[in-house]
């Protein structure tokens, strides 16, 4: 058990190193002279030189990378080229918002997916199952930003139940927080719910076909007993995998949803940085988002190893 944990934690190290390469390497991908591109077409020679010096572009790439990584390790991700704010401060503002949004979306998607998948797998082939299957395919197919638009039209502009844009921190006013986050989280959660429903339904059906379920049934166990004790216990292991898959998807999807609902999370900051080519901010956000995703997936995998002895090495 301990060996599995140690192994799994160790395998994330090369992944993290590679991630820093990619996040740092974004600067190198800029076509032409990065300093000229970042400074913009109207920049003077002095301005270009200033950008070059601020980004340290005049030093060897290896030195630049080393400085950036050691800085990142101590929490310094550089300063924004446009607002002159520390990148880490902007991220510290946006990250809790995005995590709250993604977390709520995850809860919503599970609240939809788990009961739907169980019912549809147990009543396989009925109208309910068909409805759930088509519904989940549709849920995947609907673009989240479009769904958000429709929700705003119906619930905010039409019925006036919920605010269309904005965000209130949970510690300021929990009720207002809920009102503001409900539509964005629902928008983000539906695609996740669709995906999870499909995966879970499949895994429950898989478990139902196992020999031990037939044995349990044939020895006269009551159906509720079989479902509750044998099927659900075994089908819950894939649920953990689904969770891991969802986290990266939700973090990425949040960018779009934040844009529609005006939620001031990482996605908003990222989009603003993209339109101004604020490279340090983009690098910082990519790094932090991937870090969150990697840590979440590590936790998921550890939980998976704990639940399922089969994946642990001897």
Partner 1 sequence: MTPSERPSPTAPADPTTTQPTTEPTTTEPKPDLAVAPAAPGASALPAGTVPAEATAAVVHGGGAWADFRRRVGRNRGAMIALGVLALLAVVAAIGPFITPADPNAQNLRGVLLDPFTAGHVLGTDQLGRDILSRLIVGTRVSLLAICLALAVAMVIGVPLGFLTGYIGGRFDAVVMRLTDAAMSFPPLLLAIALVAVLGPSLRNAMFAVGILMAPRFLRLVRGVVLGLKEETFVEASRSIGTPTGMIILRHILPNTLSPLTVAVAVTAGYAMLSEAGLSFLGLGVQPPDASWGSMIREGFLYYGRSPWLGIFPGVLIALTVFTFVTLGDGLRDALGREERTES
Q: What residue ranges bind partner 1 (CB under 8 A)? A: 11, 14-15, 18-19, 22, 26-27, 29-31, 124-125, 129-130, 133, 137-138, 140-146, 149-150, 152-153, 157, 205, 248-249, 251-253, 255-256, 259-260, 267, 270-271, 273-275, 277, 279, 282-283, 285-286, 289-290, 293-294, 297
Kindly tell me which of 231 and 250 has the beta carbon lying closer to partner 1: 250
Strands (E), 172-223: none
Q: How far is the CB of 217 from partner 1 (least distance, A)?
A: 18
Indicate if the alpha-carbon torsion angle 253, 254, 255, 257 is positive or negative. Answer: positive
| Contact call for residues 301 and 308 (beta carbons, < 8 A) | no
The span from the CA of 73 to the CA of 102, in Å, is 25
Kindly tell me which of 119 and 178 has the beta carbon lying closer to partner 1: 119
Q: How far is the CB of 132 from partner 1 (least distance, A)?
A: 10
Q: How far is the CB of 180 from partner 1 (least distance, A)?
A: 19
Kindly tell me which of 183 and 251 has the beta carbon lying closer to partner 1: 251
Q: How far is the CB of 206 from partner 1 (least distance, A)?
A: 11
Kindly tell me which of 231 and 258 has the beta carbon lying closer to partner 1: 258
Q: How far is the CB of 115 from partner 1 (least distance, A)?
A: 19
User: How many residues would you count in the chain?
Assistant: 314
Query: What six digits make up the tokens of 82?
Result: 């446009």
Closest CA to 216 of 228, 204, 206, 200: 228
Indicate if the alpha-carbon torsion angle 76, 57, 51, 43 is positive or negative. Answer: negative
| Contact call for residues 271 and 208 (beta carbons, < 8 A) | no
Q: How far is the CB of 248 from partner 1 (least distance, A)?
A: 5
Axis crossing angle, helix 2-29 with helix 61-73, rounded to the nearest 10: 130
Kindly tell me which of 135 and 177 has the beta carbon lying closer to partner 1: 135
Kindly tell me which of 150 and 225 has the beta carbon lying closer to partner 1: 150
The span from the CA of 36 to the CA of 82, in Å, is 15
């Amino acid at each position: 058990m301990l060996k599995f944990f140690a192994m799994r934690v160790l395998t994330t190290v090369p992944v993290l190193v590679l991630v820093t390469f990619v996040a740092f390497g974004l600067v190198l991908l800029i076509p032409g002279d990065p300093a000229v591109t970042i400074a913009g077409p109207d920049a003077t020679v002095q301005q270009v030189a200033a950008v070059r010096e601020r980004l340290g572009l005049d030093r060897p790439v290896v030195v630049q990378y080393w400085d950036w990584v050691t800085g990142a390790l101590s929490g310094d991700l550089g300063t924004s080229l446009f607002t002159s704010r520390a990148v880490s401060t902007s991220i510290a503002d946006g990250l809790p918002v995005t995590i709250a949004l993604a977390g709520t979306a995850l809860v919503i998607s599970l609240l939809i997916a788990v009961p739907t998948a169980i019912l549809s797998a147990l009543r396989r082939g009925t109208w309910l199952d068909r409805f759930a299957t088509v519904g989940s395919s549709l849920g995947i197919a609907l673009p989240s930003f479009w769904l958000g638009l429709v929700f705003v039209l119906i619930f905010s502009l039409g019925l006036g139940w919920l605010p269309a844009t904005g965000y209130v921190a949970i510690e300021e006013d929990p009720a207002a927080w809920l009102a503001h986050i409900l539509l964005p989280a629902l928008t983000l959660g539906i695609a996740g719910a669709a995906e999870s429903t499909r995966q879970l339904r499949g895994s429950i059906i898989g478990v139902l076909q196992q020999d031990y379920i037939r044995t349990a049934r044939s020895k006269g166990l009551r159906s509720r007993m079989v479902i509750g004790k044998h099927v659900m216990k075994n089908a819950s292991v894939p649920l953990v995998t689904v969770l891991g898959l969802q986290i990266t998807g939700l973090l990425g999807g949040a960018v779009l949803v934040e844009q529609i609902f005006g939620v001031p999370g990482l996605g908003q900051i990222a989009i603003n940085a993209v339109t101004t080519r604020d490279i340090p901010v983009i690098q910082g956000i990519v790094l932090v988002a991937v870090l969150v995703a990697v840590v979440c997936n590590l936790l998921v995998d550890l939980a998976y190893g704990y639940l399922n002895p089969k994946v642990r090495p001897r």
